[in-house]
Each structure stands twice: as C-alpha cells, then as structure tokens.
Amino acid sequence: MALIDWLVILGYFALLACVVVFTKRKQETSADFFLGGRSVGWLAIGASIFAANIGSEHLIGLAGSGAVAGLSQSHWEFHAWVLILMSWVFLPFYYKSGVSTMPEFLERRFGPKARWILSLVSLAAYVLTKISVTVFAGALFFETMLPEISITVGGTTIGSFWIGAFATVLLAGVYSSFGGLTAVVYTDLVQTFIILAGTLSVTAFALYHLGNSGVQVDGHAASSIADGWAVLKQTIKSTGNVEAFGLWHSLTHKAFPWLGVVVASVTIGVWYWCTDQFIIQRTLSAKDMTNARRGAIWGGFLKLAPVFLFLVPGMLGFALHHNHVNVGSGVFAIPLKANGALNGDTVFPTLVQSLLPVGFRGLVVAGMIAALMSSLASLFNSVSTLFTVDVYQKLKPDTPQRQLVTIGRITTVCMTALGLIWVPIMKAIAGGGLYQYIQSVQSFLAPPIVAVFLLGLCWKRMNLRGAVWGLSVGFVLGMAKLGANAIWGGADGFAFIQDFYFSGILLALSVGIVVVASLTAPAPAPEKLNGLTFACLDEKFRQENRASWNKWDVIASCVVVGLVVAAYAYFWTWLD
C-alpha cells in the first residue's frame, strides 16, 4: 500500500463522515430513524439494496467459489428477476399497509403470535449467520490485504485480522447508530459507485494480464484482453474442469445437484429479496409507491453485477495461477491449503495485491471496506428495527418516539458488541467456502417463511394457526438439519439429505403443514383481509397501485428479466 492508496482510503472515510453528519440532522421519530422518514428516492433505494447485498460472502466467498467451482454458485447471483417479482407482487401489499417491518405485516395478516415467531427467528438468524459471517470474512480480508498492520498493547501484538474486525464493526455500528436508515441508504448510494469502480478494475486488470500472458491460444500467443477470455476457457478445458466449472451439475453431484440448486436458490431468493427485513426495509423508506417500485427495479439491474465483479475474477485468478502468469510483482500464485488445494477465500485479496497498480489498489480496498461496512450497517439497522418495533414497542406500547430512537441506537451498539464477541468463535470454526456455507444455512431457514408469505398473499383461507404451525415446525426442522450437519458433517460428511434437496423437501413440508393447520381452524373474516391478500383488494387499492407505474417501469422490468435470460443462455454453453 503506497501513500496514494492510503489517501484514497482516507478520502473515502472523509466522504462517509460528511454523509453521516448530513443525515443525522433529522432523527426525531422512529419513522425518521428506522425508515428514513419515508422520504428516500428510487436511485438511493436501488443502490442501497445492491450495497447491502454485497457483503463479505461476496468479497471472500464468491470469488473463492469462482476459483474452485466456477459458475456453480452463479444461480444465487442471477436473482435480478426475483427483485422484479418483489416490486410487482409483494411490494404493493407491504407499502400500502404502512408497516415498518415484515413481522408487523404478518401480524396484520394473521395475528400477534405470527409476528413474535418471525421476529425471534429473524433476530436469531441475523446474529448467528449474517453478522457472524460478515464480521469474520471482513477480518479475513484485512488479514490478507494488510498483513503489515499491527498494534502492540501491554506486550501483546494484535494483528491485522483483529484490527480489521474491530474497525469494520465499530465504524459501521457508529454511523448506522447515529444516522439511522437515512445514513445507511445515502452512504450506500456513495458506496455503490466505489464498489463498482473498484471491483470492475480487478476484472479488467485480470483480463489484461491473462490476455497478455503469451499463453498459446487458438494458434497464437495471447496478446489482448479478448485473448484473456479465450485463455480462461482453454485453461478450464485443459485442466479437466469443464464439468466442475459449468453452470449445471448432475442430479447426484455432492454439492450442487441441478434440481436441488434450482429449488433452493429460488426459495432462498424469494425469502431474501421478497420477505426479509434486511432488503424490504429499504423499499419501505421510499417517498411513495412509485419510488419504492423503481428502486427495486434499479436494484434488479445492479443485482446482475456480482457474477462479473466477483465470480468471474475468481475464475480468472484460477487461470492466472494455473498458467504461472508473471504479473509484474512476480508469478501470480494463490495461497494453498494444507492439502494442496487452492485456498478460495484468499483469491480476491490476492488479485488486488498482485495485479493492481498504485492508486487502484487504494480504490479497491476502499470499495471492499465500503461493501463490508454497508452490509454490516444494514444488518445493524435491520436488527435494531426488528427489536425496537417488534419486541420493545410491543412490550411497552406507550414509549415516546424519541425514546424509541434511543432504544434503536442502543440495540445497534449491542449488536455491534455481539458481532465482536462472535469473531473468535467464527475464527475457530470457519474453514473455507463461506459463500456455500451461508447459502446452505439459509436454505434451512428460508422455506417455512416463504411458504407462509406466499400462501398468506395468495390464499385467503389461510389463518393464524397455519402461520404459527408452518413457521414453528419449519424452523425446528431446519435447525435439526443444521444440527445434523454440525455433528455428522454436511456435503463432505454424513449428510442425511443433500443440503439443497433438503430445502425443497422442507418447502413442500411447510406448505403442507400450513394448509392442513389452516383447515383445522375457522377462516379469517374477509373484512380483516382487505389489502392483505390478492382475493381481498378493494377498488381504491387497485387504482392507487395502477397509478404508481407507467410503461417505462414495465419496459425496465422486462429488460432486467431479458438480461437474466441472456446471461443464462450464454453461460449454459460457454465451454462447449
């Protein structure tokens, strides 16, 4: 890291501080703190959706997956179409109901018990999966990128791993605590462009070095960026990795059977993009329904980027490593594990260290810090919203608005502390493959929630009993699978049922439980369902929803879906 790199990073923090100071000026009510005063525009909403999604599992895990498993994980990143589904099918119900959280929506639809269950499940899931993985992988990124940084306290030397963990968590906790969702959304707007510029430069330099490596390809020595892509494909074929790096795998594949992947990725996608507080909270901050929908559509455009920002660079790193390409600083080499396999979780930091010139390296590190902090800040804000609105305010409904803001800030600080406490635990239990780990865990959590939300919107006969039993039994079964994996091993051990197949089975079981339980209790009164299910929409709801979009919204949505189809069409046969 040269002086100019550090200046770029300092400039990023200065810009971040200015945004936080600006957004802190109006934080008087819970709506101001948790929903940005419902005044945010579509550009900031879409950017915040993208930046919140780009967490450490992308920085560390997705690039690593690209280097060792090719396109196997791309199905989770082609979910731009799910954001279109959310914007047209789910979002009108959420926004028109005026709720602040997803558990609050379930209470409107079913009753208080459903709200309590989803609140507690969501809080536990955030602490045990999203916060822990984000903190750990962020610390790992700092350890790889800035190994020279250390602090000695009382004779004990604290390395870059712990410094990175503490700095990232504390800074994200501070600005989300002070500025609320407004600070998170508008810092995400700034950080989106930093992330895009930084990570695209990694892809460009990786293609440049691979394309000018002199490797023989198609009868000539590689000498252009276009040749870089040809060298990548040739390397995959020559190393016998066509099946491993392909888009689809056999039904008996240990980690990524195509049927299990399709069902699990769609289930996780609907849960994450259509029902999870972490994402939906951004759309609820919109100044009106039009901005909410356009923000989700804009987020759909941006959602197509991670495959090319992280997964493709991971594959390029594999090709650079295999061909022993000289990148100026020496021969490019990815660190190896004890068994001689590539250490996937070090691929992206190694690309940054080895390929980028002075200045660009600082830009990318700033982008990585931006991604880590925006993801953590979004997590902290969502958790504080869930606890304050769905737990504290329910227990103490007469709490003044200013006190609710204070409680939200205290909750953020507590989540920050939990994130720091969890770091040594994650360091002890986590190996490689963070991206696959988090997708597997989410595949156990998502199915019952998806079943309850989808049936709740589409089937007016569903009632509180169906929601309670579906959420409760589904969560217990999912945690039982997670426990079995922890004791006997997952894909590489004695898995009773392959993880992604289990997700589909759990979804079917959850739907069955919801239907049977609902039929054993009286149907909800139709007058209580207005605006909460498709079968019970009054004319006012329909007219307001129709007035919130025009032909350009439809065209933009079709373009996003078309881009997803085009990406699948290319990568389906790209190695043939």
Does residue 1 register a pLDDT over 60?
yes
User: 419 falls in which pLDDT band (50, 70, 90)?
Assistant: low
pLDDT (0 to 100) of residue 369: 74
Q: Average per-residue pLDDT in the chain? A: 82
pLDDT (0 to 100) of residue 296: 95
Does residue 433 register a pLDDT over 60?
no
| Cα–Cα distance measured from residue 386 to residue 318, given in angstroms and rounded to the nearest whole number | 41
Averaged pLDDT, 388-404: 81
Averaged pLDDT, 223-235: 90
Superfamily of domain covering 3-18+42-97+117-240+287-430:
Sodium/glucose cotransporter (1.20.1730.10)
Averaged pLDDT, 428-442: 59
> CB neighbours of 269 closer than 8 A, spacing ≥ 6?
76, 79, 82
**Structure confidence by residue, pLDDT tens digits, 112-127:** 899 888 888 887 777 6
| Cα–Cα distance measured from residue 555 to residue 567, given in angstroms and rounded to the nearest whole number | 18
Best CA proximity match to 122, nearest among 416, 446, 418? 446
Averaged pLDDT, 168-183: 66
Q: Where are the domains of the chain?
A: 3-18+42-97+117-240+287-430
**Structure confidence by residue, pLDDT tens digits, 254-284:** 888 899 889 989 999 999 899 988 888 889 8
pLDDT (0 to 100) of residue 506: 94
3-state helix, strand, coil in the chain (%, to 5): 75, 5, 20
Torsion over CA of 124, 128, 133 and 136, rounded to 10 degrees?
130
pLDDT (0 to 100) of residue 454: 95
Best CA proximity match to 30, nearest among 295, 376, 411? 411
User: 176 falls in which pLDDT band (50, 70, 90)?
Assistant: low
Do the Cβ atoms of 554 and 77 come closer than 8 Å? no
pLDDT (0 to 100) of residue 144: 67
**Structure confidence by residue, pLDDT tens digits, 232-261:** 999 999 998 888 898 998 888 888 889 988
Written as six digits, the tokens of 75 are 């199905």
